[in-house]
Every structure is written in structure tokens, then in C-alpha cells.
Amino acid sequence: MDETRRASLAAWLGARAGSVAIRDMALMSGGAIQQNWKLDVTVGGTPQAWVLRTDAPATLSVSRSRAEEFHLLKAAHEAGATVPEPLFLCTDESVVGKPFFIMRRVAGIAAGHRVVKSETLGGGRVALVTALGRELARIHAIRPPRPDLAFLALPDRPPCTRFVAAMRAHLDRGRLPRPMLEWGLRHLERSAAPAGDIVLCHNDFRTGNYMADDTGITGILDWEFAAWGDPHEDLGWLCARCWRFGGPGEVGGVGPRAPFYAAYEAASGRKIDPAKVRWWEIAAAIRWAVVAIDQAERHVSGREPSLELALTGHIVPELELDVMRATLEQPA
Amino acid sequence: MTAWTGTEIPGGPDLLEIARQTLLDTVLPKLDGDARFKALMIANAMAIALRETRLGQDEIAQAMQALAQAAGPDTWAVCHDIRTGRHDPGTAAHQKIGAALLALAQARCRISAPKALEGDRK
């Protein structure tokens, strides 16, 4: 960000937070769709650690807008979930060139392969999965109707049915036939549950998307896919084999299911249906495969040559293997 | 004595292998941050290409043939039939198709993600 934009940002922040001086500002790593800027400021002389989150240049964003993400963070924060506290939203593009919001910066480790190897993060494996259960229960306490989240469409059919239809629509646009994914989807269709509770689902609640230090979880990140759905969607996504990063625990590669389920049930007052979690675990492998196919297509089509996108395509076979193993183990 | 094909040795796969080893042994230790991440991706891409060349398509072709025998030769049509329930449990070809698809997924993993096969019987 150039000097002019930094000055206009400082002025905009000053009008909201009192006298704000920007001490340091640097682009943080990661984020192909969004940009995160580390923002060190003083407010009335007191140092504060913030993050400025905005859209990456020249991306066709299909995820939620920054304004919507800000309102989701606010709702989660008010519900008691551990999230970076959202502070200010700016939809005026003249300030830094794109809409942005400011949130507090949280400390900790997020990288999946590091989290699953650690015996101490979050206070140890059982403590960490217990905390994850509690966090998810707090998020799932957010239920419609919510005027502040009016941008989230209410599901027009049961989440299971909606999921199968959405994945098939993706496959129909694909370059190659995907018989293993079709096999998995048909299995899911045969065993789809009717609609149950509708709650706010984070929809990317997995190891890699929360930060933790040795005392506990410090922040649930990446709210851009949140939507109304079935609570088991998030439970299945977190437990799915494809999000365990080679770690030993069935819950996000971190720890065992029993304390996670117990903590979730105690905090939410909702009984978990293990069969529904397994359903959404198969769904998770299919959803990740479909995303990987779409990402690889950006490279294959020649639109966006990229080694990272190209390699993402080679994740698909192991997801297909997860799907085949699971469907052959649990006939439906 | 072997008959000469006209191409020079070492061939493509051997070059890929020694290039990958050189990248990992002598270039990678000098890198950090984003460059290190990129070098690891390059090594991974080379490993996939090597396995595809060395293993060939035999195992995949075999699984594709088993699928064709059980469900028909046009994979798009097979997908449609699976979707519309023609191969649901209790139908004639259900088990054979399930087994062929599992074998196909395993054969694909042998090239793209062999670690996923650890603990799996071949």
C-alpha cells in the first residue's frame, strides 16, 4: 500500500478510533482470494495489533464479501466464539481501493501439519478437541432468523439433498467423468437424512483454520464459506480423513472423538447423530475433490498457469479412495 | 548389446530423477520461506511425473477394463447409470463395479498419492 493510501487509511481509522498512528504495515502470507495486512498502530498512544483484511487484486471472488464476513465475525464474537474481534468495516472503496475490515490480530499457530504434531497446543490433544467442540457449539447457537445475517439464504430443501445436487452440478461442468465421486454421491443420496436443525455452519471448520497456543484456541478463522445448514456438516468436515494432515486423531488429526462429541453435546444441548457425522465425512471428501477439480481446471484451461493449482488436481485420487473405502465399509 | 532407438541416454525419466535429487540435496537446503515451499512443490510434481512414466498405465488400464466389463465402456454413461440408481446395492453389477472403482482409485493413487495406500492391500 502506497503512502497516499496509508495516509487515507490512518485518517479513516482516526475518525473512528481516536488518534491512530500506523507504525507498521506488511502483507501477511497466504490468501489467494483475500489479502491480510499486519497492521501495527497506536491508538491514543497505546500500541494495538490489528489485521486489515481486503480482497486480493484481480480476483473474481465467489466467496462472501468482506462486509458479509465482518457481520459473520461479529455474530460469532457476540455468540461467545473465540474469533479475532472485528473492529471496523469500510465499504468505501476510495479509502484503500477496495472494501476492507479491521480485526484484532490473534497469536498462535494455525498450520495444519504443525498443529497435528503438537502434544501441547491448545493444552494438549484432549483439551484441544474439547475446546473445538465448545467453539462449534457456540457457533451453532446462531440460528435464523437473523436480520444482521439476512444475506445468508435460508435452505430451500434439506441440506443433504442440497449438497448432492450442488456437487452433481459441479461434476456436470467438468472436463472428465468422475465415476468414484458419482458412486459416493449416489451412496449419500440413498442415505440422505431429512432436514433437522438449521444453524450457522462455518463450513470450513478444520485444522488449519483455527489458531491455537499452549493455553487454548486463540481464534477461529476464515468465515468466508459460512451458511445456514445442518450442524453435522461442520462436525463431519472437521473429522473427515482428508483434513487430518496425517495426524493421529480422528478429530482434525488432533485427538479422539469422545471428548469432542461430549463437549459439543454438553455445550449445545444437541445430541450428535454419529451416522450423520459419517455421512458428512464422505460428503467432505467429495466436496474437497470438487474444489480440487475446479482449482486444477484454472491451470488446465490455461487461464491461470500455476504449479500449486496443477498439483491440487493430484489430490483428487486420494479423496476418491476415501470415498470408495467409506462407501464399501458402510453399505447404504 | 541393445538395439539403438536413436535417442540419447540417459532418457527423460532418469534425467527427471537426478534433477529432483539435485534439487532436494543441494538447492533446497539453501532456500527458506516461499522459495522453499515452491521447491518442495517442484519436487512433488517431478515425483508424480516420474511415477506416471515408470509405473505406466497398466494398473489403471486394468481397472478401467474391469469397470468397462461390469458397467460398459463409456465412462460418462457409467456415471449416468450410477447416478440414476442402475447400479444400486442389490443390482447385478453393484459389487463388481464397487470393486473396480476401488481398484481404479488405488491405481490412480499409486501415481498421484502413494502415501494414501499405506496400510492398504494391493
Mind telling me how many Å the CA of A111 is from chain B's nearest CA? 13
Q: What share of chain B is helix, strand, coil (3-state, %, to 5)?
A: 70, 0, 30
Least confidently predicted of A31-45, A138-152, B74-88, B92-106: A31-45
Q: Which residues contact B32 (CB under 8 A, 6 or more apart)?
A: none
Beta-carbon count within 10 A of A177 CB: 16
Interchain CB contact of A169 with B (< 8 Å):
no
pLDDT tens sequence across B1-57: 788 889 999 999 999 999 999 999 999 999 998 899 999 999 999 999 999 999 888
Q: Given this model, what pLDDT does residue A91 score?
A: 92
Q: What is the pLDDT of residue B57?
A: 86
Per-residue model confidence (pLDDT) at position A149: 97
Grid coordinates in use for B68? Answer: 468397462
Residue position matching grid coordinates 491508538: A43
For chain B, say whether A109 makes contact (Cβ under 8 Å): no
pLDDT at B46: 98
Q: Is the pLDDT of residue B105 over 90?
A: yes
Q: What is the reported pLDDT for A60?
A: 53
Q: What is the structure's pLDDT at A62?
A: 59
Provide CB contacts within 8 A for A172, sequence distance 6+: none
Closest-CA distance, B27 to chain A, in angstroms, reads: 18
Q: pLDDT digit string (tens) for A290-303? A: 999 999 999 999 99
pLDDT at residue A56, rounded to an integer = 74
Residue of B nearest to A165 (CA): B83
Looking at beta carbons, which residues of chain A come within 8 Å of B108? 316-317, 320-321
Tens of pLDDT along A64-100?
889 999 999 999 999 999 999 999 999 999 999 999 9
Residue ranges of chain A with per-residue pLDDT less than 50? none
Q: What is the ipTM of this complex?
A: 0.94
Residue B121 has pLDDT above 50, yes or no: no
CB nearest B101 (choices: A316, A324, A332): A324
Q: What integer pLDDT is reported at residue A122 of this predicted model?
A: 95
Secondary structure (DSSP) of A58-76: T----S--HHHHHHHHHHH
- Give the whole-angstrom CA distance, residue B17 versus residue B60: 23
- Check CB contact of B101 with chain A, cutoff 8 Å: yes
Residues on chain A touching B78 (C-beta within 8 angstroms): 177, 179
Question: Measured between alpha carbons, how far is A53 from A39 in angstroms, rounded to an integer?
Answer: 10
> CA–CA separation, A152 vs A164, rounded Å?
20
Interface check for B55 against chain A (CB to CB < 8 A): the answer is: no
Checking if the pLDDT of B122 tops 50, the result is no
pLDDT at A85: 97
The residue assigned the cell 494391493 is B122
| Residue A160 backbone phi and psi in degrees, to 5 | -65, -50
Structural domains of chain A sorted by starting position, each given as residue range(s) with its CATH number in brackets:
3-104 (3.30.200.20), 112-329 (3.90.1200.10)
